[in-house]
Amino acid sequence: LCHETDEGYAYGYRGSLLSRLAVAALHMNEQDLARQAIEIRRVYHRPGMMPMASAAILRGLLRVHNVTQALEVLDDELALPMEG
């Protein structure tokens, strides 16, 4: 899902699938895979990011005591839009 598919995969649901992958990876303590899914989701699927999925990712990151990345995700998603 991270490396073998393009942006149009799953008819626009790829961002949601990446969120679910990140949460599942965190449950399995696969933090590298979760980090990749979160980054791809942030870069390619920002307009479609759902608050429920973001909350699940934050809970997962906090569950594995990755507070630094949880705060980065929170700051990134709550940031004001850039000018221009």
Give dist(CA 62, CA 57) in Å, integer.
Answer: 9
Whether the full predicted model's pTM is greater than 0.85, yes or no, is no
What percent of the chain stands above pLDDT 70? 80
Rounded to the nearest 10°, the torsion over CA 38, 76, 78, 12 is -40
Q: How would you label 15-42 residue by residue, b for 16+ Cβ within 10 Å and e otherwise?
A: bbbbbbbbbebbeeebbebbbbbbebbb
Q: Which residue shows structure tokens 């909350």? A: 55
**How do residues 51-84 score in pLDDT, each as one tens digit?**
888 999 999 999 999 999 999 998 888 776 667 6
Query: For the chain, how many residues are written?
Result: 84
